[in-house]
């Protein structure tokens, strides 16, 4: 008796999470003699809870191929973390109720830390209730902060985007600093881990090339040292390009961007962004002409400049996830193992979720230069292969021709469930 499957996307989307979806869908289609219908939760786990399910059988193969080059979460994602089993057992039991109603034997959950935890709990309660399921966590996060795996699908593409962007902005500054802007700040994502900021460092291949300063959340922000470094850069190279993690904190552990409660001339709250705060500091103490950019969602959805290796890893992680489930594996995460550095080679292995859930991987100290303002060669060696290769989407009328799925909904058969 073939069991059906459910796939759901979770958390902040990436340029390649849909490539993982394509991998899961194609694997289910390739193994259709062993696996039944593949459903997808609309808007992630929320759709599974509320029985808002999409029957992926209605998506033609060309749209699935389109997922490989379409950013964001095609089935909808959500920021919703299931609480602990003790606090919210009701939700886990509901998941099992839905699984049971649709004869689900496989649960593929595509997300970051929180999702690994949820996936593990689903496996645990299913076991407790005697419901047979293979729960597989497909890794995804631009933050690159999952443990065990060498890197996370989604990171390579954002890394390529930010390194390209800061290189381009660096050329801009270099050509104009004599009479114009001397300090440029690019704010990138990374609340706790500085991997994305670190990736900006790849743009600097020789001494003096931008970025000149990288600010990591792992390194306490010291205003004096920062200003001295900016001054030194301007005096040495004529200008200073800075990559700043959104999550940089002062010595009290307070985020610099927490000055988001300023009131502007209109009486409105001026909101967020560490880049304008840093610009303010530079302006006040050094007086240099500055510019700043905040990439925000642009960086995690920039499929037009995704890394080919990232697209492939995302796809294969999804595809292998299905194969591992069919081999009887449960409560695991397929992860990326670096087999060789030069040439860069990787393969997929599997790890039990208990080794992954609720853990976070930060930048190791040896990846950060002694002064705390740049990356080391060791860090370059780690990140560089992850941005390799281009994998451009097709363009129509000058714009990337991303796809939208049909999202054929399944008729509900259970009692309504309210998210509390």
171: left (phi over 0), alpha (psi -120 to 50) or beta: alpha
When the beta carbons of 5 and 203 are compared against a copy of itself, the nearer one is 203
Q: How far is the CB of 274 from a copy of itself (least distance, A)?
A: 11
> Are the C-beta atoms of 342 and 388 separated by less than 8 Å?
no
Q: How far is the CB of 354 from a copy of itself (least distance, A)?
A: 27
DSSP 389: -
The span from the CA of 124 to the CA of 144, in Å, is 26
Q: How far is the CB of 112 from a copy of itself (least distance, A)?
A: 14
Please count the CA atoms within 13 angstroms of the CA of 258 that sit on its side-chain side. Answer: 10
> Are the C-beta atoms of 21 and 39 separated by less than 8 Å?
no
CA angle 168, 172, 175 (to 5 degrees): 135
DSSP 386: G
Q: How far is the CB of 6 from a copy of itself (least distance, A)?
A: 18
Helix (H, G, I), strand (E, B) or coil at 387: helix
The span from the CA of 140 to the CA of 14, in Å, is 8
In the chain the first and final C-alpha atoms are separated, in Å, by 36
Q: How far is the CB of 129 from a copy of itself (least distance, A)?
A: 27
- The residues annotated as belonging to the active site are 143
Q: How far is the CB of 173 from a copy of itself (least distance, A)?
A: 7
When the beta carbons of 78 and 353 are compared against a copy of itself, the nearer one is 78
Please count the CA atoms within 13 angstroms of the CA of 236 that sit on its side-chain side. Answer: 13
Q: Element (H or E) spanning 225, and its range?
A: helix 223-237
Measuring CA to CA, which residue among 317, 349, 348 is closest to residue 137? 317
- φ, ψ at 78 (rounded to 5°): -155, 155
């Amino acid at each position: 008796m073939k069991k059906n499957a459910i796939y759901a996307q979770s958390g902040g989307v990436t340029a390649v999470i849909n490539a993982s979806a394509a991998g899961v869908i194609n694997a289910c289609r390739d193994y259709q003699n062993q696996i039944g219908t593949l459903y997808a939760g609309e808007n992630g786990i929320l759709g599974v809870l509320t029985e808002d399910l999409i029957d992926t059988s209605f998506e033609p193969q060309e749209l699935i191929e389109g997922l490989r080059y379409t950013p964001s979460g095609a089935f909808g994602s959500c920021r919703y973390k299931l609480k602990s089993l003790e606090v919210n057992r009701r939700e886990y039991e509901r998941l099992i109720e839905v699984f049971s109603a649709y004869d689900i034997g496989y649960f593929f959950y595509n997300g970051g830390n929180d999702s690994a935890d949820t996936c593990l709990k689903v496996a645990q309660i299913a076991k407790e209730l005697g419901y047979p399921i293979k729960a597989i966590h497909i890794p995804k996060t631009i933050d690159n902060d999952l443990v065990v795996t060498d890197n996370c699908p989604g990171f390579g593409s954002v890394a390529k985007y930010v390194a390209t962007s800061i290189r381009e902005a660096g050329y801009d500054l270099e050509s104009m600093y004599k009479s114009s802007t001397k300090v440029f700040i690019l704010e990138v994502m990374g609340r706790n881990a500085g991997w994305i900021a670190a990736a900006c460092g790849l743009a600097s291949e020789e001494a003096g090339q931008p970025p000149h300063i990288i600010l990591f959340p792992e390194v306490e922000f010291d205003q004096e040292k920062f200003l001295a470094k900016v001054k030194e850069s301007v005096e040495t190279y004529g200008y200073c390009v800075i990559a700043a993690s959104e999550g940089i904190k002062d010595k009290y552990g307070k985020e610099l961007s927490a000055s988001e409660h300023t009131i502007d001339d209109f009486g409105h709250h001026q909101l967020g962004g560490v880049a304008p705060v840093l610009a303010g500091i530079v302006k006040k103490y050094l007086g240099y002409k500055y510019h700043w950019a905040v990439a925000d969602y642009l960086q995690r959805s920039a499929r037009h400049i995704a890394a080919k290796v990232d697209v492939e890893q995302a796809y294969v992680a999804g595809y292998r996830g299905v194969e591992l489930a069919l081999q009887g594996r449960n409560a695991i995460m397929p992860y990326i193992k670096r087999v060789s550095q030069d040439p860069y080679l990787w393969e997929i292995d599997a790890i039990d979720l208990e080794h992954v859930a609720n853990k976070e991987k930060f930048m190791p100290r040896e990846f950060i230069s002694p002064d705390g303002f740049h990356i080391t060669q060791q860090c370059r060696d780690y990140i560089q292969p992850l941005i390799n290769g281009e994998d451009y989407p097709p363009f129509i009328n000058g714009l990337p021709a991303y796809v939208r799925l049909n999202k054929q909904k399944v008729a509900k058969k259970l009692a309504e469930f309210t998210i509390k």
